[in-house]
A and B are shown apart, each in its own frame.
Chain A
Amino acid sequence: MLVFVVLAPGVVFGVLALLWLVGWVPAERLVSGITGVTFSAAILALFVVLRKVIATGAVTVTFGNWFAVHDYHFPMVLMADRLSFPFLGMTVALVGLIGQFSATYLHREPGFFRFFLLLHLFAFGSLIAFAAGSFDLLVGGWEIVGITSVLLIAFFQYRTPPVENALRVFAVYRATDIGLLVGVFAMHHWAGTASFAGGFPRLSADRASTVCLLLLLAAAGKAAQVPFSGWLPRAMEGPTPSSAIFYGAISIHAGAYLLLRLQPMLAQSRLASAMVIAVGLVTAIYGTMSGRASADAKTSLAFASLTQVGVVFVEIGMGLKWIAVAHILGHATVRTLQFLRAPSMLHDYHQMHSAVGGELPATENRLEDWLPERIQLWLYRWALDRGHLDTFLDRLVIYPLMRISKFFARLDGMGLHPSLGRREAPASGCSAGQEGIG
């Protein structure tokens, strides 16, 4: 049953995508119907899994090695234990719910079919990541979640800002995922395995610190923790249902899940635990301040999510594993509801304003009123520019990289006449266009 839960969305995605590639275009009703049936069946199957988890503590399905070379092998183990089951349940229930919501919300939208395809792929990736019995498999699911997330940010493909923001988010994901790849490699190298289905890899404190810090980089990237938080408001360009499921519920908590999975190793390393707490604390403060200066509903909700995920990181760093799990489940559910409600809430507010004949009175007694006005203004400017985090990353990483790249281009062009080796420039003019990933 666990295999069915994990594979069902993947199979639906594969079949629908292949049929579309060779020329078939399904009707909206059929797509939403298939989605409903798939996730309803998955929820029922999860009840069967739950019974087994309660009875035995964990359900493990082993398929042997996905591939093996010499001493290195990639174990294909799916596992539902007390940690992963809540995440599996949350994913199946919320994706099913989002599917039903989107059938109406995106009715007659040109990208309707694309949205549902990506929703299935996202569910598949998330379920793989949460049900993985090894960090190797978790990486696979993790990457799929990242790619679907980016493709859904660029959902409104005819507008420039969403697609450029998608590129930026993709760049952050790929950069931070290097930590995950190298961390998993280090686990293999030192412990001989990255599997946790049959017991956690045992490492010395120093090595555990190294692995935890590498994985913290990936977790911070995926959970938009400081200094990578700049991508989160950019990700709000996607359609509301995908914002709800990704940045209110599942994708934003994937980093926290990774750290929860890493808890036995994290407990060995004071340095890594302290770093997790520090990152979470700074992000919580950053999120709450930037959220207060945000002018639109979705971005405010995104920063509110960020604040809560920061607090979850603090809980994980302090070793409060089950409090963190409960916090994630509660937060994901409430935040999904808030995201889905956001567009109609704005409509309700407008109606309310019309009814009372103007704006509603602002609430009084804000904490920042206690600060001197100069500091208030400085903080407002800081929060409005989202802590200058994007500028910081641009100046520290992206601009130098672009300068190096252009220098390489000049080097490569040496010895060539400018008219040689270049194709004709388009009439609209390349030079005036955008460059790089900024």
Chain B
Amino acid sequence: MTRGAILTAITIGVPWAAALLTAGTRRQPRAIGFAAALASVTASSLLLRAVPAGESLKEALMLLYSCLTLGAMLALPRRDCTTGTISGILFLLGSTLLAYSTDDLRILLAAWVVSTVPFFFPQWFGARTWRPRLALLLSSGALALAVTLIAWHGHTMSIGGLARRSPGGIAVFGLLVAAVIFRKGICPAHAWVGDAAEGGALIPTALLLNGHFGAMLVARLIVPLFPYNARDLFPLLSYLALATALYVAVRALTENSPRRLLAYLALSQSACILAGLESRTVEGVTGALVHWYVVTASTMGLFAVLRLLEVRFGENLTASHHLGLAGHAPRLAVFFIVFGLALVGLPGTLSFCSQDLLIHGTLASHPQTGLLLPIATAMNAVTVFRLFVRLFLGRRRTGFTIMADALPRERWILTAGVLFVVLGGLFPNTIVTRWSAEAEAVEQAFYAPSRDSGESASRFLPSFVAGDLGRVRHSTIDTVLQLPGPDGDR
């Protein structure tokens, strides 16, 4: 076994072993979970160090997700720190890392399905409504069908071996896109995300959403395997993603449930990741990948703060009127507003860079629809601020006896999260340079020649749609503003 394989086995195996240990011994779950997540973080960072920039997408994502789980272990309130929750989170960590790391389609499918298992049982992490279960089931079904079709056509199951071969053609491409739509919560399959956050276990649900399996499938599977189809048909997914970002941003303006509101914010911002990945500009793809980091860290911070508030002040928090919680928990208020504004492009945080790159990338490739991105972000900013104002400001409530602000354990881990988004924003070059190398690889995959499929995938579309896509693909902002090309006044 190579060093890389051993480290990968540690990264995935240790959380699963720890999950079994926790479930079996039922003692010290947080300590066991923390140690297992720390082992994953260490092994993932060693893995990342070993690979060159440009080929480190999966290792970087593994490190990010391990760190996220480590943070969740510390931020988890004592009330939630049961053996079931900790073992479920560790189970989710192992399966997510397996999905990120594998090069085999069958293993990817297995990891994809396994990662959803805890969310099917209401007594574990499952929501009370049917929509999350249906969406996860449909996404797993679509992916399973796609993998079956690829196998049926006699192709290899290695992702690397299938690169640029459009295995299974447009049918498999469509199924993979459907899997992305259901898993990521893209319109019209978005409603399950709010339901999952509303009725499920909050921090595990945040971990599920922040696995970003949909974006991972796009970056690791759809673009490398179907570059030709992706070039022609991907704008549709991009438009859906931008429409989702705007739809959900508008939807959140009158939502009063903090859990649902945060879920919509997370969804709206993570839909921007898909739009950036599809922009086919290095700026847009880099912005999307950096935004992946931002959304993951910020939404996790927001969900954690909300859960900490819930255990202190009750689960009936609402944004319909002012609760004045800052008077009781000023530090939690500060963490909330910093994570919230860091999600929507506060200068001095990493999201300022990612939003800047995303807006440039999407506007350059889709001038008409790209304008939706800054509009959606502006609305999300208003929503974040509204939630902050309603939860934390207003008349100080007097019904509580002793209410602790952030405990030292929570304070340190949330401070680490704040430092990550702030230092990442002050010195973004390290992260941006690393991701721009990955972005160039993704962008090159879009323009790579097809091996098997010589024809444009747009032949499968009605002519008016294909024609429109072609026009959009080559349009620039000039077409919107009816002005001559970029060389006009140089």
Query: Once the chains bind, are A139 and B347 in contact (CB under 8 Å)?
Result: yes
CB distance from A36 to the nearest CB of B (A): 25
Query: Once the chains bind, are B395 and A430 in contact (CB under 8 Å)?
Result: no
When each residue 419-455 of chain B gets 1 if its CB lies under 8 Å from chain A and 0 otherwise, what string results? 0000000001100110010011000000000000000
Binds B, one of A97-105, A181-189, A345-353: A181-189
Kindly list chain A residues whose C-beta atoms are within 8 Å of the C-beta of B320. Answer: 430-435
- Judged by a CB distance under 8 angstroms, whether A70 is at the interface is yes
Query: Once the chains bind, are B412 and A22 in contact (CB under 8 Å)?
Result: yes
Size of the A side of the interface (Cβ < 8 Å), in residues, is 77
- Judged by a CB distance under 8 angstroms, whether B232 is at the interface is no
Query: Once the chains bind, are B322 and A163 in contact (CB under 8 Å)?
Result: yes
- Judged by a CB distance under 8 angstroms, whether B158 is at the interface is no
Cα–Cα distance between A424 and B317 once the two chains are bound (Å): 9
Binds A, one of B11-19, B141-149, B192-200: B192-200
Kindly list chain A residues whose C-beta atoms are within 8 Å of the C-beta of B489. Answer: 190, 202-204, 207
A156 — nearest CB in chain B belongs to which residue?
A: B393
B196 — nearest CB in chain A belongs to which residue?
A: A421
Q: Which residues of chain B in 309-364 are interfacial with respect to chain A, using CB atoms and an 8 Å cutoff? A: 314-318, 320-322, 324, 326-327, 331, 334-335, 341, 345-348, 352-353, 356-357, 359-360, 363-364
Count A-B pairs with CB separation below 8 Å: 205
Kindly list chain B residues whose C-beta atoms are within 8 Å of the C-beta of A174. Answer: 378-379, 381-382
Cα–Cα distance between A171 and B195 once the two chains are bound (Å): 27
- Judged by a CB distance under 8 angstroms, whether A334 is at the interface is no
CB distance from B435 to the nearest CB of A (A): 8
Say yes or no: A405-B250 contact (C-beta < 8 A), given A67-B353, A147-B341, A433-B256: yes
Kindly list chain B residues whose C-beta atoms are within 8 Å of the C-beta of A160. Answer: 322, 394-395
B247 — nearest CB in chain A belongs to which residue?
A: A408
Choose from A66, A182, A189, A412 the contact partner of B476 (Cβ within 8 Å).
A189
Say yes or no: A404-B250 contact (C-beta < 8 A), given A69-B283, A203-B489: yes
- Judged by a CB distance under 8 angstroms, whether B488 is at the interface is yes
Query: Once the chains bind, are A406 and B318 in contact (CB under 8 Å)?
Result: no
Say yes or no: A437-B386 contact (C-beta < 8 A), given A74-B353, A185-B360: yes
Query: Once the chains bind, are B283 and A72 in contact (CB under 8 Å)?
Result: yes
- Judged by a CB distance under 8 angstroms, whether B477 is at the interface is yes
Cα–Cα distance between A391 and B385 once the two chains are bound (Å): 22
Kindly list chain B residues whose C-beta atoms are within 8 Å of the C-beta of A430. Answer: 256, 318, 320-321
Kindly list chain A residues whose C-beta atoms are within 8 Å of the C-beta of B428. Answer: 66-67
Say yes or no: A158-B327 contact (C-beta < 8 A), given A22-B415, A167-B385, A408-B251: yes
Query: Once the chains bind, are A157 and B326 in contact (CB under 8 Å)?
Result: yes
Query: Once the chains bind, are B283 and A185 in contact (CB under 8 Å)?
Result: no
A431 — nearest CB in chain B belongs to which residue?
A: B320
Cα–Cα distance between A17 and B415 once the two chains are bound (Å): 11
Query: Once the chains bind, are B385 and A140 in contact (CB under 8 Å)?
Result: no
Q: Which residues of chain A in 195-213 are interfacial with respect to chain B, using CB atoms and an 8 Å cutoff? A: 202-204, 206-207, 210
B199 — nearest CB in chain A belongs to which residue?
A: A421
- Judged by a CB distance under 8 angstroms, whether A427 is at the interface is yes
Query: Once the chains bind, are A420 and B128 in contact (CB under 8 Å)?
Result: yes
A121 — nearest CB in chain B belongs to which residue?
A: B348
Query: Once the chains bind, are A21 and B334 in contact (CB under 8 Å)?
Result: yes
Q: Range of interface residues on chain B?
A: 35 or more
- Judged by a CB distance under 8 angstroms, whether A164 is at the interface is yes
- Judged by a CB distance under 8 angstroms, whether B156 is at the interface is no
CB distance from A212 to the nearest CB of B (A): 13
Q: Which residues of chain B in 228-271 are interfacial with respect to chain A, using CB atoms and an 8 Å cutoff? A: 247, 250-257, 259
- Judged by a CB distance under 8 angstroms, whether B178 is at the interface is no
Kindly list chain B residues whose C-beta atoms are within 8 Å of the C-beta of A158. Answer: 324, 327, 393-396
- Judged by a CB distance under 8 angstroms, whether B220 is at the interface is no
- Judged by a CB distance under 8 angstroms, whether A15 is at the interface is no
A13 — nearest CB in chain B belongs to which residue?
A: B348
Choose from B199, B254, B382, B476 the contact partner of A170 (Cβ within 8 Å).
B382
Kindly list chain B residues whose C-beta atoms are within 8 Å of the C-beta of A175. Answer: 378
Query: Once the chains bind, are B378 and A178 in contact (CB under 8 Å)?
Result: yes
In the complex, which of the residues B316, B335, B364, B476 has the most CB atoms of chain A within 10 Å of its own CB atom? B316
- Judged by a CB distance under 8 angstroms, whether B486 is at the interface is yes
CB distance from A6 to the nearest CB of B (A): 13
CB distance from A13 to the nearest CB of B (A): 10
Choose from B199, B347, B360, B393 the contact partner of A72 (Cβ within 8 Å).
B360
When each residue 300-322 of chain A gets 1 if its CB lies under 8 Å from chain B and 0 otherwise, what string results? 00000000000000000000000
- Judged by a CB distance under 8 angstroms, whether B465 is at the interface is no
Cα–Cα distance between A171 and B249 once the two chains are bound (Å): 13
- Judged by a CB distance under 8 angstroms, whether A150 is at the interface is yes
CB distance from B305 to the nearest CB of A (A): 13
- Judged by a CB distance under 8 angstroms, whether B371 is at the interface is yes
Query: Once the chains bind, are A21 and B331 in contact (CB under 8 Å)?
Result: yes
Query: Once the chains bind, are B374 and A181 in contact (CB under 8 Å)?
Result: yes
- Judged by a CB distance under 8 angstroms, whether A402 is at the interface is yes
Kindly list chain B residues whose C-beta atoms are within 8 Å of the C-beta of A206. Answer: 483
Query: Once the chains bind, are A434 and B321 in contact (CB under 8 Å)?
Result: yes
A174 — nearest CB in chain B belongs to which residue?
A: B378
- Judged by a CB distance under 8 angstroms, whether A81 is at the interface is no
A415 — nearest CB in chain B belongs to which residue?
A: B131
Kindly list chain A residues whose C-beta atoms are within 8 Å of the C-beta of B314. Answer: 426
Cα–Cα distance between A164 and B321 once the two chains are bound (Å): 10
Q: Which residues of chain B in 273-300 are interfacial with respect to chain A, using CB atoms and an 8 Å cutoff? A: 281-283, 286
Cα–Cα distance between A136 and B283 once the two chains are bound (Å): 15
- Judged by a CB distance under 8 angstroms, whether A280 is at the interface is no
Choose from B257, B331, B364, B483 the contact partner of A207 (Cβ within 8 Å).
B483
Query: Once the chains bind, are A140 and B352 in contact (CB under 8 Å)?
Result: yes
Say yes or no: A21-B418 contact (C-beta < 8 A), given A66-B428, A210-B481: yes
Cα–Cα distance between A163 and B385 once the two chains are bound (Å): 10
CB distance from B430 to the nearest CB of A (A): 9
Cα–Cα distance between A190 and B247 once the two chains are bound (Å): 30
Query: Once the chains bind, are A190 and B486 in contact (CB under 8 Å)?
Result: yes
Cα–Cα distance between A138 and B199 once the two chains are bound (Å): 43
Cα–Cα distance between A353 and B353 once the two chains are bound (Å): 57
- Judged by a CB distance under 8 angstroms, whether B375 is at the interface is yes
Query: Once the chains bind, are B429 and A67 in contact (CB under 8 Å)?
Result: yes
Cα–Cα distance between A140 and B331 once the two chains are bound (Å): 25
- Judged by a CB distance under 8 angstroms, whether B7 is at the interface is no
Kindly list chain A residues whose C-beta atoms are within 8 Å of the C-beta of B326. Answer: 157
When each residue 262-281 of chain A gets 1 if its CB lies under 8 Å from chain B and 0 otherwise, what string results? 00000000000000000000
- Judged by a CB distance under 8 angstroms, whether A18 is at the interface is yes
In the complex, which of the residues A416, A427, A437 has the most CB atoms of chain B within 10 Å of its own CB atom? A437
A398 — nearest CB in chain B belongs to which residue?
A: B253
CB distance from B386 to the nearest CB of A (A): 6
Cα–Cα distance between A160 and B394 once the two chains are bound (Å): 5
Query: Once the chains bind, are B198 and A423 in contact (CB under 8 Å)?
Result: yes
B314 — nearest CB in chain A belongs to which residue?
A: A426
Kindly list chain B residues whose C-beta atoms are within 8 Å of the C-beta of A72. Answer: 283, 357, 360
B345 — nearest CB in chain A belongs to which residue?
A: A143
Query: Once the chains bind, are A66 and B250 in contact (CB under 8 Å)?
Result: no
Cα–Cα distance between A190 and B259 once the two chains are bound (Å): 42
The 10 tightest CB contacts between A and B, nearest first, are: A433-B320, A433-B321, A140-B347, A426-B316, A430-B320, A70-B282, A204-B489, A163-B393, A405-B254, A174-B378
Residues of B within 8 A of A (CB): 127-129, 131, 190-191, 194-195, 198-199, 247, 250-257, 259, 281-283, 286, 314-318, 320-322, 324, 326-327, 331, 334-335, 341, 345-348, 352-353, 356-357, 359-360, 363-364, 371, 374-375, 378-379, 381-382, 385-386, 389, 392-396, 408, 411-412, 415, 418, 428-429, 432-433, 436, 439-440, 476-477, 481, 483, 486, 488-489
Selected A-B contacts with CB under 8 Å, 12 pairs? A21-B334, A66-B428, A166-B385, A170-B382, A174-B378, A189-B364, A210-B483, A405-B250, A420-B128, A430-B256, A432-B320, A436-B253
Given A72-B360, A186-B477, A206-B483, 5 other A-B contacts at CB below 8 A?
A: A178-B378, A189-B486, A423-B257, A423-B316, A427-B316
Residues of A within 8 A of B (CB): 17-18, 21-23, 65-70, 72, 74, 125, 136, 139-141, 143-144, 147, 150, 154, 157-160, 163-164, 166-167, 170-171, 174-175, 177-178, 181-182, 185-186, 188-190, 202-204, 206-207, 210, 401-402, 404-406, 408-409, 412, 415-416, 420-428, 430-437
